Amino acid sequence: MYSDRINSLPPYLFATIDAAKAKMLAKGVDVIDLGVGDPDQPTPAHIVESMCDAVRDPKTHRYPSYTGMISFREAAAKWCKETKGIDIDAASETLIMIGSKEGVAHIPLAFVNPGDVVLIPDPGYPVYKIGTQFAGGIPYIMPLLEENNFLPDLDAIPKDILVKAKLMFLNYPNNPTGATADLKFFEKVVEFARENDIVVVHDNAYCEMVYDEYQAPSFLEVDGAMDVGFELYSLSKTYNMTGWRIAFAVGNKDMINAVGKVKSNIDSGAFDAIQRAGITALTSSQQCVADMNDIYTQRRDALLKGLKSIGIDVKPPKATFYVWVHVPEGYDSMGFSKLLLEEAGIVATPGVGFGDYGEGYIRFALTQSVERINEAVGRMEKLKI
């Protein structure tokens, strides 16, 4: 009945987690969800008000532009200049996406022929691999190991793979590990991509979720990066807009145009009212972002302190709202996640769900209050793990 393409896919990780959570809720369990990275705070009021005004305008009710409103693209380019110091041409080097997940899934269709290789980080966002498979590409796994600070070892990729490689996904600050990359690493990436004729897609969705005065760089800050790739930015986590589905890509104009051709044949663009709200988010005061980072800092520190008190020591992440934790001795990631859910009512994401090299870890998302995080730690302490 189903295509080989669908039959080859495992169940989507977070859909599986939602189903397991629903079973516990049906039993009356008070579940503390530290699983899916979905902000628990509302979208800032000024963005919501902007959306309400836009929805009332009949001009927004018609088909949007395939490439996105030029006013949104100008706002995105201005934001990139102000926050990352990169110069972007709004007309030719910017593309609006219906959330970065949609973008990631469709990008391989623009560059990958059946049998071509795509370099995929592992552990990593599952859609990098899924989008590759949908395009008929062959995923080649780049292990992200703790001893390498969760950066891929580009020198370890075999020559016969590089000959076939067309595309590489990177993501720093990183989901799920919380790892960061500096400009020296990105310089190496640019050289690597130029030598091997590989398109680089840097998923920078978490760049504004930072702690302790850390600033996450843009891949495009490096000389030559615009020649070899482009970058994705999402409003989802930065402005608590996960349900709104709005993101944008910036970078090499020919690559941006290629992705735009795919999208124009698949979707009809992002709703103009949401784009107007996105303009408000990007061009208004960014104090709401700083305020959320203060909240996440308090939550991060509470979780790290609590974990340490029960014998689990974790290196504090400098970015993202994730904490990547070794599972206790005697457990694998699925087993420990199951224990937490069934015996303590805590949802955590098993590391193996992000790839084979995520085995031995679980991911906590900082999407609950300090009080609930402390309660979760108290429940874990009672398990005597």
CATH of residue 58's domain is 3.40.640.10
- pLDDT band per the 50, 70, 90 thresholds, residue 313: confident
Is 254 in the same domain as 332?
A: no
Place of tokens 């994705």: 232
Is 223 in the same domain as 295?
A: no
Is 27 in the same domain as 104?
A: no
Query: What is the identity of the amino acid at 282?
Result: L
Tell me which of 17 and 70 has the higher pLDDT: 70
Tell me which of 263 and 27 has the higher pLDDT: 263
Give how far the C-alpha of residue 244 lies from the chain's centroid of Cα atoms, to the nearest Å: 15
Is 138 in the same domain as 275?
A: yes
What is the distance between the alpha carbons of residues 277 and 46, in angstroms, rounded to a whole number? Answer: 9
- pLDDT band per the 50, 70, 90 thresholds, residue 103: very high
Is 63 in the same domain as 38?
A: no
Over residues 22-40, the pLDDT tens digits come to: 888 888 889 999 998 999 9
pLDDT score of 8 more than 80 = no
The predicted model gives 344-370 an average pLDDT of 96
Residue where a domain stops, chosen among 251, 283, 315: 283
pLDDT at position 384, please?
83
pLDDT at position 97, please?
97
Is 292 in the same domain as 353?
A: yes
pLDDT score of 16 more than 80 = no
Q: By percentage, how much of the chain surpasses pLDDT 70? A: 99
Tell me which of 16 and 49 has the higher pLDDT: 49
Is 138 in the same domain as 23?
A: no
Judged by DSSP in three states, 365 sits in strand
The predicted model gives 278-292 an average pLDDT of 98
Least confident of 146-150, 201-205, 331-335, 361-365: 331-335
Find, among 34, 41, 21, 36, the residue nearest to 380 by Cα: 34
The predicted model gives 329-351 an average pLDDT of 94
The predicted model gives 137-166 an average pLDDT of 98
Is 8 in the same domain as 129?
A: no
pLDDT at position 280, please?
98
Is 61 in the same domain as 73?
A: yes
Over residues 109-129, the pLDDT tens digits come to: 999 999 999 999 999 999 999
pLDDT at position 209, please?
98
What is the distance between the alpha carbons of residues 212 and 214, in angstroms, rounded to a whole number? Answer: 6
pLDDT score of 240 more than 90 = yes
Over residues 190-238, the pLDDT tens digits come to: 999 999 999 999 999 999 999 999 999 999 999 999 999 999 999 999 9
pLDDT at position 9, please?
74
Is 128 in the same domain as 239?
A: yes
The predicted model gives 158-187 an average pLDDT of 98
pLDDT at position 284, please?
98
Give the number of domains in the chain.
2
Find, among 39, 121, 42, 14, the residue nearest to 348 by Cα: 14
What is the distance between the alpha carbons of residues 129 and 254, in angstroms, rounded to a whole number? Answer: 23
The predicted model gives 82-103 an average pLDDT of 97
CA atoms within 13 A on the CB side of 79: 26
pLDDT at position 358, please?
98
Give, in order, the Cα–Cα distances in Å from 304 to each of 39, 210, 296: 19, 16, 12
Residue where a domain stops, chosen among 230, 257, 283: 283
Residue where a domain stops, chosen among 249, 283, 317: 283
pLDDT at position 17, please?
77
Is 297 in the same domain as 257?
A: no
Over residues 52-75, the pLDDT tens digits come to: 999 999 999 999 998 899 999 999
Judged by DSSP in three states, 143 sits in strand
- The enclosing domain of 301 has a CATH number of 3.90.1150.10
What domain range is 77 assigned to? 45-283
Is 71 in the same domain as 197?
A: yes
